[in-house]
Amino acid sequence: MRKFKSMNELLQRYSCLLLDAPEVQARNSKQKEIIFESFELSDPTRVNITIPDRKFNKRYALAEWLWYLSANPNSLNIGKLARIWRMISDEFCEVESNYGVYLKPQWNWVKNEIVKDRDTRRATFVINQPYHKFKNSSDYPCTHYIQFFVRDNKLHLGVNMRSNDLVYGLCNDVFTFSLFQQLMLNELNAVGLDLEIGSYFHHAGSLHVYEKHFSMIEKIGSSTLPVDIFEETCILNKELNWGLIDRKFSFPFHELEKEEIYNYVDKYAGDILDVEKR
């Protein structure tokens, strides 16, 4: 299994690997692909990608995470920030891939399993469901399940995906799930477990890059960028839990314009990410 310290390091390495990977033609488009790929991110707080050619938008990534936490499948607002959500919505302007829809009902059960037995192997969340095969054909969730382990007094997270594109899917998914990992850590420590953040593990059945991004990953693979740990790091405020976010920072349900959504995220970003303690 490959091991990385940061998403910058990971993205650069996989950009090089995928340039030489075999080509496939899934869903009528060309991709370069590595199958059954796994990696470990040893510091799941270093998830902000600062490589200029990627143009990673941390504001969007945080907005998407807040939308997941809302557990609202409506894509009206999030679709104004990323058109992919509009493209895969059904006739009711809803999607299947708001992961909070599946995580939220299971959250307390999983947390309690860890509290009852720190060595549990039952701390799993199922996301991709059998009914998804027959529902919205444009949105078949990429994430199948996630699992927490406490080992050596550290909270580890494993994420299992059927499919990930390197440029958009992987970058945003790791950001999202690393924040869920930190959120679970907060809630476990709030009831006295006194854990540290562990590693983030990821498995993708297909890790691929689309033809439209071939030139981008070539630039990323050859780029040189000084390491700036401060800029890379996203640490969740340790006072936050899911209930508090629901009460204070919940993603807007009523329709807003794009800049209004970003202004809302900017307003609370300093309360969500703990800049002072990075």
Confidence label for 275 from pLDDT (cuts 50, 70 and 90): low
Comparing 66 with 225, the larger pLDDT belongs to 66
pLDDT of residue 224: 85
Tokens of residue 14, six digits: 């996989």
What's the whole-number average pLDDT of the chain? Answer: 96
CATH number, domain 37-204+224-258: 3.30.572.10
User: How much is the average pLDDT of 179-190?
Assistant: 98
pLDDT at 60: 97
Confidence (pLDDT) at 264: 96
- Res 277: pLDDT: 46
Of all residues in the chain, the percent with pLDDT exceeding 90 is: 95
Distance CA 67, CA 93 (A): 14
Q: Model-level pTM greater than 0.85?
A: yes
- Tell me the domain boundaries of the chain: 37-204+224-258
For the cut 80, the answer to whether the pLDDT of residue 225 exceeds it is: no
Mean pLDDT of 131-160: 97
What is the per-residue pLDDT for 274?
Answer: 84
Quote the pLDDT of residue 278: 42
* Alpha carbon distances (Å) from 256 to 3, 54, 64, 195, 264: 41, 27, 15, 39, 10
- Residues 2-25, mean pLDDT to the nearest whole number: 97
> Contact 271/237 with Cβ under 8 angstroms?
yes
Categorize the per-residue pLDDT at 226 as very low, low, confident or very high, splitting at 50, 70 and 90: confident
